[in-house]
Amino acid sequence: MVSKKQAGGGSIRSVERAIDILMAMNRRPFSTLHDLHRDTGLPKPSIVRLLRTLEAKGLAMQSSSYGAYQLLSGVKSLASGFHHEPEIIEVAEDIMIDFTQREGWPLSMALFDLNAMTVRACTIRFTALSLEQSSLNRRLSLVTRALGRAYFAHSLPSERAILLSILKDSKDPEDAGAQNEETIERMVEDVLQRGYATRDPLIDGRSSTIAVPIRQQSRVVATLGFTWITVAMSLQKAVDKYLPRLVDTAESISRMIESGNPASREQPRAQGRAIGPAAVLPCMSVNELPIMAGEMAGGRS
């Protein structure tokens, strides 16, 4: 029987909690009860009941390691009805995996989404040289993050003006620098002069990232980032050793997009530790921004 609260158009708390658990489990290969309690803030008895429900539906299981849970392949069915994932992700993934298996360090690819970049592909699961399990679906500022700066700087001047007007209304603290146009102009000049973007050093100094654009013809459609543990090497060493390889990888993806080559989808996937399915977020072309500019609220979802 549906309660009056549920029938009145409000959210159903039990469904919200189940989604919270799925999203939390998607961030790592194995999650303990403590991990899920910390990530979601839900009471442990509620988490246990939700996990039992997910197990009954074939979406999760408890591993042989006591207290550790993992997602099962059944969760892929939750996204089977979505048919609009950009082809660039399919094209890029095998190329990115090959880079990480050769070089050891992970790559991330991000697409523009409303007022930030969203990571839509990453190869963290194919290497141990990372401080986190996944960056999929993370939203990154155009002002402070390497993947965002690379996109902003390589956009057309008319597009940058639209993006800047949106960022000025953002409530995200990382977008505060958009209020100073001189600072933004210097950032753009620096990125274009060097040929790559870096993350603001005040943002999580444990790791570092350099990023370059992926183009379709002359237009930037995504950005590709190379991330390393900061203490492992200096920025200059990373640039000297890996920037040419990163640029080559971005150009390979660009060529495959332009040629419409489906080869990557026909090749077998490289094996790695599973992290669960990535939620697919809508991506919007910057050409649609003039329509949306007056409707958007700033900040990160």
CATH number of the domain located at residue range(s) 12-79 in this protein = 1.10.10.10
Q: Where in the chain is CATH 3.30.450.40?
A: 87-292
Contact residues for 101 (Cβ-Cβ < 8 A; gap 6+): 126, 270
DSSP SS3 for 276 = coil
Question: Please, what sign has the CA dihedral across residues 50, 73, 130, 236?
Answer: negative
**Rounded Cα–Cα distance for residues 269 and 252 (Å):** 18
Is residue 135 within 8 A of residue 278, CB to CB? The reply is: no
Q: In this structure, are residues 187 and 181 in contact, taking their beta carbons and an 8 Å threshold?
A: no
Q: What is the mean pLDDT of residues 80-93?
A: 70
Per-residue pLDDT reduced to its tens digit, 95-135: 999 999 999 999 999 999 888 999 999 999 999 988 888 88
For CATH 1.10.10.10, list the domain ranges present in the chain.
12-79
The amino acid occupying position 154 is H
Question: Of the spans 49-53, 81-85, 282-286, which averages the highest pLDDT?
Answer: 49-53
In degrees, rounded to 5, the angle at the alpha carbon of residue 194 between the alpha carbons of residues 191 and 200 is: 45
pTM, to two decimals: 0.62
* CATH class, 87-292 region: alpha beta
